[in-house]
Every structure is written in C-alpha cells, then in structure tokens.
Amino acid sequence: MDYKKTLNLPVTKFPMKASLVKREPEQLAEWEESCLYDKIRTESKGRKTFILHDGPPYANGNIHIGTALNKILKDIIIRSKQMSGFNAVYVPGWDCHGLPIEHNVDKEVGLKKKEISHGEFRRLCRSYAEKYIDIQREEFKRLGVMGEWGNPYLTMNYEYEAIIARECGKFALQGGLFRSKKPIYWCCSCKTALAEAEIEYKDESSPSIFVKFALKDNLGLEIPVLADKKVFVVIWTTTPWTIPANLAVALHPDFVYAAVDTGEGEVFILARDLVEGCMKSFGLSDFSILAEIEAGTLEGKQCFHPLYNRESLIVLGSHVTLEAGTGCVHIAPGHGQEDYEAGLLYGLDVYSPVDDRGCFTDEVEFFNGQFVFKADREIVARLRESGGLIKEETIKHSYPHCWRCKKPVIFRATPQWFIPMDSTGLRKKALEEIDKVNWIPRWGRDRIYGMIENRPDWCVSRQRAWGVPIAILYCDKCGEIYINQEVIDHVYALFKEHGADIWFKKDAKELLPNDAVCGKCGNDTFIKETDILDVWFDSGVSHAAVLEQRPDLKWPADLYLEGSDQHRGWFHSSLLTAVGTRGAAPYKSVLTHGFVVDAKGKKMSKSIGNVIAPKKIINQYGAEILRLWVSASDYKDDIRISDNILKQLSDAYKKIRNTCKFMLSNLYDFDPEKDTVLYKSMPDIDRFALHRLQKLIERTTKAYDQFEFHTIYHALYNYCTLDLSAFYLDILKDRLYTSPPKSAERRSAQTVMHIMIDTVSKVMAPILSFTAEEIWIYMPERKDKETSIHLTSLPVVNEELKDEELAKKWELLLKVRGEVTKALEQARTSKLIGHSLDALVTISANKDLYNDLHPYTEDLKSIFIVSQVSLIKEESLAGAYESNDIEGLSILIEPATGEKCERCWVHDTSVGTSPQHPTICKRCEENIKGLRY
RNA sequence: GGGCCUGUAGCUCAGUUCGGCUAGAGCGCACGCCUGAUAAGCGUGAGGUCGAUGGUUCAAUUCCAUCCAGGCCCA
C-alpha cells in the first residue's frame, strides 16, 4: 500500500517563487484600495507620536540610489516606530525653488526667454517642479515607502512661501539681517550675477605681471640689515585690472620670506623658496639674500599702492601658495573670494569700483569709464611708468566664463543680504543647542560643531528668478530696513493668498502701510528688495512651515535623517533658522548615513559609468531586495552596491522566504484557537525553540531601538538558517509528517511554528514590508487577526517562554550534535552511510558528559536525525571519531540495524514484524491506527 | 591643502569598551548526501600576517605616529 498518503506532508499555496517585480505593484494597489495608511492613522490616534521630519529632495530628475537608500531607511524607522506603539506620521516633502530648475527651464525656453515675463517664467518653473514631484512620488511609492503622499509639503506651496517670508522677517525684526557688499561672479555682457553652477571654465590668455609694492614702514628695527634700504614686497597677478582695487598684500603665516638684495640698489621681499626662480626670471643674476623673515614679522606693515597715493596692508592668509608667483598675493577684497575673506578678517573695505557693465567708476583715477579687460594694458603701462612693474608676460590658464554668452566673467562686489553669526549671538546659541541634540553616529556632533564654529555670516540673497523674495523694504535714502510686525503679517497674508509672485507684481508703496516713514531719516520712500532667498533658507524653515503647521506633527521633531552632506546643508540651515527664531534646535536626534559607492568603494558618477539606478534593481529583483540591501548595510559608513551584493541578498531573501513557506505549509490544518498546546505540555525541544525565539526578539527589539538595522538582518537571517532551517525545522519534519495529525506532539510543533511565523513576519515587516504582508495573508485565520500585518505590533519578549537553564542543556546538546554530524560526514565519505537515518550512533562520554546527556537518551536519535543512538559511559570505541572540541567524547558510526521503514524512513528492527504492515515500523503502525486511508 | 569619517575572509557583518587563549557568523565557493521544504533541504571543508610601515609594550587587529586607499564637506 502507499503509506505516503498516511503522512501529513506540507501543503500551501504560498509560492516559492516570489515574483516580486510582478507582485509588488499588485500589493501596493491593494494597500491603496484598502486605505491602509488611513487605517493605520485612525487606529493609532491618541498614541504618543514619533515624528521623523522628511528632508525634502530636490524636485528635479529621477531618484537615484542614494535617494532610495534615504527614503527606505526612513520608511524602516517609521514602520518600526509605528509597530512599537507610536503614532508615526510621515509627511514627505519636496524642495522646489532654486537654480537647477531655473536653469533647466531656461534651457527649455531658449531664445524665447526675452519674450517671457518674469511671472510667466516663474509659472514655468512651478510646473517644471510639479512634473518631477509627480515622477518622484511614484518612484518613492514603488519602493514601498508609506506616507502622506496625497498631502506632501512643498516649499513652493503658497502657505509655505508665506512662512519663508515670515521667518525671514523675524530675522530682520530682531536685527538679524543686514546688507553688505560681497564679491560674486558677474557677467558684464549679460549684466547679471552668476552662480558657481553657471560658470564654465575655458583656457584664456591673460597678462601675467610682477609688481613691487614699496614698503612704507621701516623694517630696520626688526631687521637691522634692512635699515635705510629701499624695500619692496613683490606680488604676481594675472588680472592687472584689479590692481586699482588693491587694498592689501597677503603672505602665508607658515612660510619663510627672504629679503633679497637685487644688486641694483633695491631689496625685494618674496617667499624664500621662490627666490631663485623669480630672480632668474626677472633677469637679476647678481642678487643676494640679506635676511630670512617670518611672515608674522611683516603682518600689519604698510606698503604704498603702486599707482595711487594710499596704503596697502600686509596681511596673513593661508590661501597663499608656492605653486606660482612670489608667495606674496595681491588682495582686492571686492574682486575675489579669498581676497574678500582675508579682507573681512582685517576689516578692509569691500572695494569694487566697477559698474554693472564692467567699467571702472568715476572714482578710479586714470581709468574711469574703461572696460576692465581693456584697461589691463593701460594699467600695465601706468605701472611701468611709475616704476612698479618688474616684469610682464602672457600666460594661458583656465578662466571662468559665462555659460550663456561664453564671455569671461569677473568677480565684482555687490550688495548682498546676510544673517550675522555673532552680533545677535546666533553662533554661540547654535553651538549650545548642538550639544543638546543626539547625533547618530556620535561624530556628527563634531562635524557640524566645527562648521558652525567657523562659518562666516550667512549670505542669504541670490540674484535669481525662481525662489522666494527677501520680502524686505528699505529706505531709498539711508538704506535702513523698514520692518515691524504689521509689515510681516501683511506680507504673510499676501503670500499665503497669492504666493510669493505677488511681491514682484506690487510696488513698494502697495506693500507698506500708508504712513510708513523711515525710522532713521524720516524719509517716506522705500525700495523693494527683489533678490530671492538662498534655497537653504527655504528648506531650513520646514520646521516652521511643516512641523508647527500640521496638527498631527510636533516641534521639535524626534528625528531628522539624511546623508552626511547635510551637516553643511539642511541640518545646518534648519539649526540656524530655528535657533535664530525660536532659540532651540528643531530636532532631538539627527541620524546620518553614508553615500552609496560601487563594489570597489568608489563614488558613483556618470563619467566613470558605475551608476546603478534604483529602477534597474526594482525591475530586475524587486523593491524588496533593495529594502533588504538597505537593512543589511551599515549605513554609518559608505554603502557598497554591486550585482554581486544584490545577488547575495537575493539568495538570502529566498532562504528567508522558503523558511517561512515551510512553516506555513505545515500549518495548513492548524487552528490556533482550537489546537494550541500549552507551553508546559510541550517537549523540551519545543520549549527550547521558543526560548531561542525570545532571544531573537530581544536582539531585534534592541536593534530597532538603536536604529541598527543590519543587526536585524543578520539576526533574522541567521535565525532562519541556523535555528530554524538547519536545526529545529529539520528535526521537526519527522514529528510533523509521521505523527497522527491531531496528536499532541504534532500540535505542539505547530503551536511553536505558529508563534514563530507570527514573530518572524512581524520582525521583518518594517524591512520586508511586501513579503511580511504576503506571509500574513497565508497565516491561519483566527478571530482577531488584523487585516494587515502593518496594523500589528512588533513582538515583545514573553518572559514565560524563556528558560535559561533549559537553554544551557540544549546548547550542550547542540554542540554534541555538531560533533555527531562531523562523524556522520566521515562515515558518508567512506560510503558507510548515505542519509543520516542510515546510521546507528554510539556515543561514548566521560562521566560528566554522560550525566548531562543521559536524561535525553531517548531524544538523541531525533535530535541527530539518525535511526538509533546508544549512549555509553567511558568506553573506548574502536574506529570511533574522537571529538576535538568536547573533551571525553567519541562517536562511532555504524549502519543502523533493522530494515528501513517505508513510511518514516527510520531503520528499526520492528520493521517486518507486523503481518498487516510488513514494510513499516511499530511506531508508524501505531500512528496510522484509526486513520482513514 | 583643511575638517569629519572609514579600511577584519570573494560578499555582508561580529569582535577590539580598559591591548592577552588557535580572530567569529552567515552567504558565496569546493566536495558530498538527500529526493516527503524540490528551480528546495542537510552536511563537511578550504578561505583572513584584521590597509601598509614604524613606535610604545612581556604582548597590538585593538594604543600612538606616518603613509596608502576611499568617502562627505570645505578650500
């Protein structure tokens, strides 16, 4: 007869093949249809909130792998907090203003730009942003990220724009906003400011001149040998036109300088290491070094300007190099970034006597009205005439050009708006706040602290079209800002109703109360600022525009989570705007992750061609594998991704899936409400399995708490492979298949598996959200089973299922089992056995070990999955395997006695003894009694 | 060039808090078993001078210095 029909073999429709690429979109549609997100919200009303505040991605282009990493990490956290008893509302956002969009719209519009109004251009930018928000929204949803996709926050929403203006107004109101000159890239042909991103570098021929600045101060006191000598500091520049704006000469604080007698009655000061080369190129061969001078000695000394009757100060600056020139750098604070910074340190004027066409203003003697590049030649001539020029040549070098008209650009100082770091105490307070925040990983604190500590005043103005205007009016006579609460409220109301566009449509008068009078000079006409705000200000006030505005959110947020570049970006601007207006950081914790790099640890870039798009992974493996990748990686460091890594994760996924499938397939006839077996009635191994499960819960609970997801991945995966697949479930097969279906021992195993699958699926739910749900659907029905796993809670440790003493015993058994498998493998290699059930195992143990094993004598064969085990005390066994790891243990493997039972495959001497069932063993004969077959 | 960070088997991660037994796990790989989880399951085995060099020490993967490689942010 066919005894196979008397077995309880696994049955399930849960597919082995995940078909994630096909199934995930279907699952998403089902969640959408059943309004799962709303259900979660409703069910968790009144719970304590956990708010992860989303850092808004830029609404341009498709998402890349780093964005996917970021959003999936957030989703894992949101889901795990939600399942830990919190109400974790997630409102995603987008950063909508800014140059890249403006730039792209510019390109799309092309030559028509001149025909388009400012308002129309802004409208195009808005719709461009909308388009990419829709694209990215779908991409994020496809990753399985759950949130308020129907109601995200956008920095271009009218209300958001109104709040940006209001927050900026708050800074102004408390004296935290001022206007000052700063050099920026300027195109003289387009008469416009340019951003770094709008600059193209091209080779250009420029004059290269060496100029000597006569020292005004006598160095004779410090360096006697120079007393009564004609001493000059020698500089080198490739922009002669900036000489009229020269205010200083910079030396490097760490360089040694030399005073060189030229042999022609003069002394030149230049960097010691460059003396040889320079003097040679000046054609001065008869020189001698008179003295070596520390840069510090010269700091603060005055020189004469080579053209005008004024001084030029010697300053120190670490931007000075020995790569070219003389080691002494000409400083024009109005015409260079580093010059500007050096100037700030020494309190120099940001002198920039050049108009918007690039022509010298009237205050520039000799060259007024001349276009700067054309003036180069005349300036050189003038220098030669005055004796300041040492040498002139022409060099080719890379020079910045305008992306639009391709002409060379200049650095030119224009009025900009700044948020001061020190005059209002912003820096000090921000530094204090940094130490109240929990930075994960810890070094994030040092990173942002250093940045805040050293940063200059925040320049918040941009001369662009697509953004929120600095909604400030200032006196057209004295420049004083006209600001009060009434103005702020008025602008806020206007923006909220019409968007920021209204600012450009109304003139200054309409934006102010009728009786507005300058508080400083009494004048009643005002200028409307049309510069827009730095977009970092936009996103930086999201705490005000989102956390404070939405009733289901809160201020401060529990967590901000972004890549480590955001210490300079969003964490930074959020901190400054919050501290500046509310006196506190807008976040309690800040978590940062690294960047996605390729298999070799190199960054991804289009030019190297090592970019992996999330879309490709989703279409090949499914979003679930991407989510597993995020969880498996230690995000604190850079995260590698490669086909090999994805393949490995895909294999791991299959293993987890199959393990769950196996448990489900053995629960087909299990009704948890009727068939559950009490813990105390369970066999030891079942109770040990439950103990191990509690350990898994302990570990994963702690890991979720500490955002250590890769620990969860490893714990879960190792649990599935080691605890379950290779141990418990493997041993369980015999019991599950051969025992009577309703027998206590089989029900006990099913009870355990039911708890296991329930636990494991919940533990994986925040990470493998699709698969956990799929498992949930296939789990046995019961009265209060939730409709979705995402409505349930993470498992908590049940202390009653823990038994350390029992565990200790079983850990020893496990160790012995490991030795037995080694012995079995040897026997297999020598063709003594094939399957382990072919074996009879004799265990010889020393006294202690024997006493430990003895209580389990009857269980050993099932634990080892062999047919027979005999346990003996301290006898030497000829040809036995001697354990290396366990003292006093030797194991002898022999072929099992008796025939192989056709039904349970165990070898037993009882096979053949029954007349009715001659091919099966006694145990099986008992087990099929009463069964219908 | 500066600030912050990383470098343990082919891969993903443990371990080193205050330095100390043959540095662990899983996967992958190789070989074998099974065919009642089957495009599955089980077992065994081989893989690492813990980025390199120097120093401190009785002893360093662990501490210090330098260097190399890589990342983020500045310049």
Assess contact for A669 and A9: CB atoms under 8 A: no
Nearest residue (Cα to C1') for B32? A829
pLDDT tens by residue, A313-328: 888 887 777 778 788 8
Q: Inform me whether the pLDDT recorded for A622 exceeds 70.
A: yes
CA distance A797 to A902: 42
Instruction: Return the nearest residue to B40, CA–C1'.
Output: A658
| A130 CB-contact burial (10 Å; exposed 0-12 / middle 13-18 / buried 19+) | middle
Q: pLDDT tens, A554-590?
A: 999 999 999 999 999 999 999 999 999 999 999 999 9
The gap between A513 CA and B73 C1' (Å) is: 45
How far does the CA of A183 sit from the C1' of B16, in Å? 51
pLDDT over 70 (residue A195)? no
Nearest to A468 by CA among A155, A188, A818: A155
Q: What are the φ and ψ backbone dihedral angles of A400, each rounded to 5 degrees?
A: -70, 140
C-alpha to C-alpha distance for A122 and A120, rounded to whole angstroms:
5
Q: What is the mean pLDDT of residues A761-769?
A: 97
- A446 C-beta less than 7 Å away from strand B: yes
Angstrom distance (rounded) from CA A273 to CA A916? 106
Give SS3 for A751: helix
Q: Which residues pair with A209 in a beta bridge?
A: A237, A392
CB of A886 within 8 A of CB of A845? no
Give me the CA A342–C1' B75 separation in Å, rounded.
Answer: 13
Q: How far is the CA of A216 from the C1' of B66 (A)?
A: 44
Which nucleotide comes closest to A451 if you measure CA to C1'?
B3
Global confidence as pTM: 0.91
At A179, phi and psi to the nearest 5?
-105, 135
Q: Is A803 in a helix, a strand, or coil?
A: coil
Q: Where are the beta strands (DSSP E) in A156-287?
A: 178-187, 192-194, 199-214, 231-237, 248-251, 256-261, 267-271
| DSSP H/E element including A403 | none
Which nucleotide has its C1' atom closest to residue A604's CA? B71
Q: Is A736 helix (H, G, I), strand (E, B) or coil?
A: helix
Which residues in 51-110 of chain A line strand B, with CB less than 7 A from it? none
The predicted-structure confidence for A402-450, as pLDDT tens digits, reads as follows 776 777 888 888 888 989 999 999 999 999 999 999 999 999 999 999 9
Residue matched to tokens 């360096």: A223
CA atoms within 13 A on the CB side of A722: 12
Give residues with Cβ within 8 angstroms of A581, minimum separation 6. A167, A170, A171, A544
Residue owning tokens 């027998």:
A743
Our measurement of CA A704 to C1' B62, in angstroms, reads: 28
Question: What DSSP element (H or E) covers A435?
Answer: none
Amino acid A933: pLDDT: 59
A829 touches strand B (CB under 7 A): yes
Nucleotide nearest to A865 (CA to C1'): B42
Residue closest to B25 C1′ by Cα: A718
The CA distance from A544 to A164, in Å, is 9
CA distance A525 to A520: 13
Q: How far apart are CA A275 and CA A229, in angstroms?
A: 19
CB A253, CB A267: distance < 8 Å: no
Q: What share of chain A is helix, strand, coil (3-state, %, to 5)?
A: 45, 20, 35
For the CA of A601 and the C1' of B63, the distance in angstroms is 28
Q: How far is the CA of A923 from the C1' of B23 (A)?
A: 48
pLDDT band for position A689 (50/70/90)?
very high
CA distance A832 to A823: 11
A313 CA → B18 C1’, Å = 54
- Give chain B positions with protein CB within 7 A: 1, 3-7, 10-14, 25-28, 32-45, 69-75
DSSP secondary structure letters along A848-891: HHHHHHGGGTTTHHHHHT-SEEEEEES---TTPEEPSSSTTEEE
Segment (H or E) for A74: helix A65-82
Q: What distance lies between CA A276 and its chain's CA centroid?
A: 50
Helix axes A623-632, A643-665, angle to 10 degrees: 100
A445 touches strand B (CB under 7 A): no
Beta bridge partners of A414: A182
**A114 pLDDT above the threshold of 80:** no
How many angstroms separate the CA of A144 from the C1' of B50? Answer: 38
Q: Which residues contact A278 (CB under 8 A, 6 or more apart)?
A: A210, A234, A270, A326
Which residues in range 833-862 of chain A are in contact with strand B, contact meaning CB within 7 A of any of its atoms? 834-836
Per-residue tokens: A72: 């999936």
CA distance A225 to A188: 48
User: Which A residues 461-480 have CB within 7 Å of strand B?
Assistant: none
Q: Is A563 helix (H, G, I), strand (E, B) or coil?
A: strand
Kindly state the average pLDDT of the residues A539-558: 96
How do beta strands A311-316 and A248-251 pair?
A: parallel
> Residues 873-932 of chain A: which lie with beta carbon within 7 Å of strand B?
902-905
Residue A848 Rama label (left phi>0; alpha psi -120 to 50; beta): alpha
pLDDT averaged over chain A? 91
Which of the 614-653 residues on chain A come under 7 Å of nucleic strand B at their beta carbon? 632-634, 637-640, 644-645, 648, 651-652
Give the separation between CA A913 and CA A172, rounded to whole angstroms. 100
Phi-psi region of A308 (alpha: psi -120 to 50; beta: other; left: phi over 0): beta
Angle, vertex CA A807, rays to CA A801 and CA A811, nearest 5: 150
C-alpha to C-alpha distance for A738 and A4, rounded to whole angstroms: 10
Give the nucleotide at minimum CA-to-C1' distance from A564: B72
A748 CA → B10 C1’, Å:
43
Q: Worst-scoring range by mean pLDDT, A151-165, A332-346, A410-424, A804-818? A: A332-346
pLDDT classification of A197: cutoffs 50, 70, 90: low
pLDDT tens sequence across A697-750? 999 999 999 999 999 999 999 999 999 999 999 999 999 999 999 999 999 999
Alpha-carbon dihedral of residues A519, A523, A524, A527, nearest 10 degrees?
-90
Q: Which nucleotide minimizes the distance between its C1' and the CA of A822? A: B44
Distance A429 CA to B51 C1' (A): 41
Q: Kindly report the length of chain A.
A: 933
Give the residue nearest to nucleotide B75 (CA to C1'): A319
A598 touches strand B (CB under 7 A): no
Q: Which two tokens stand for residue A892?
A: 């002898």
**What's the pLDDT score for residue A772?**
97
List the A629 CA – B39 C1' distance (angstroms).
23
Measuring alpha carbon to C1', the residue closest to nucleotide B72 is A565
Q: Is the pLDDT of residue A932 over 80?
A: no
Task: Give the CA A873 to C1' B29 distance in Å.
Answer: 40
Contact of A404 with A190, CB cutoff 8 Å: yes
- A231-237 and A267-271 strand pairing: parallel
Which candidate, A465, A365, A361, places its Cα nearest to that of A413? Answer: A361
Residue A32 pLDDT more than 90?
yes
Query: Tens digit of pLDDT for each residue in A321-358?
Result: 777 878 888 888 888 888 888 888 888 888 888 888 88
The separation, in Å, between residue A139 CA and nucleotide B11 C1' comes to 28
pLDDT at residue A630 tops 90: yes
pLDDT value, residue A705: 94
Give the integer Cα–Cα distance in Å for A425 and A377: 48
Q: Where are the alpha helices (DSSP H) in A543-642?
A: 570-582, 614-620, 623-632
Average pLDDT over residues A50-58: 97
Side chain identity at residue A637, one-letter code? D
**Identity (one letter) of the amino acid at A159?**
E
Statement: the CB of A143 is under 7 Å from strand B: no
Q: What's the CA–C1' distance between A499 and B67, in Å?
A: 57
Tell if A654 CB is < 7 Å from nucleic strand B: yes
Stretch A613-630: mean pLDDT, rounded?
96
Q: Which two tokens stand for residue A524?
A: 């009643």
Query: Separation of CA A813 and C1' B30 in angstroms?
Result: 29
As a rounded value in angstroms, the CA-to-C1' distance for A681 and B35 is 34
Residue type, A263: G
A246-277 pLDDT tens trace? 988 888 877 788 888 877 778 888 887 778 88
Provide the pLDDT for residue A181: 86
Residue among A172, A176, A169, A157 at smallest CA distance from A546 = A157
Strands (E), A476-600: 481-482, 526-528, 532-533, 557-563, 587-593, 596-597
Q: Which of A540-544, A876-880, A915-919 has the lowest mean pLDDT?
A: A876-880
Distance B49 C1' – A562 CA (angstroms): 39
* A19/A621 Cα distance (integer angstroms): 9
CA-based torsion, A630, A633, A638, A643: positive or negative: negative
In 3-state terms, what secondary structure has residue A518?
coil
CA angle A51, A52, A57 (to 5 degrees): 140
Which nucleotide lies closest to A572 by the C1' atom and the CA atom? B73
Q: Estimate to the nearest angstrom the gap between the alpha carbon of A181 and the chain centroid.
A: 35
- Provide the phi-psi class of A731: left if phi over 0, else alpha when psi is between -120 and 50, else beta: alpha
Stretch A34-58: mean pLDDT, rounded?
Answer: 96
Nucleic strand B under 7 Å from the C-beta of A337: yes
3-state DSSP assignment of residue A524: coil
**In whole angstroms, what is the distance from residue A118 CA to residue A864 CA?**
80
Phi, psi of A758 (to 5 degrees): -60, -45
By DSSP bridging, strand A256-261 and strand A267-271 are antiparallel
For A490, A515, A538, A600, A641, the CA distances from A510, given in Å and listed in that order, are: 11, 12, 25, 60, 57
Q: Which residues of A in 698-727 have their CB below 7 Å from strand B's atoms?
A: 708, 710-711, 713-714, 717-718, 721-722, 724-727
Q: Which of A93-102, A846-855, A880-889 has the lowest mean pLDDT?
A: A880-889
Other beta carbons less than 10 A from residue A294's beta carbon: 14
Beta bridge partners, A417, equal A179
Estimate in Å the CA A238 to C1' B51 gap, whole number: 43
Nucleotide nearest to A597 (CA to C1'): B71
User: Does residue A568 reach within 7 angstroms of strand B, measured from its CB?
Assistant: yes
Nearest to A482 by CA among A445, A450, A443, A513: A513
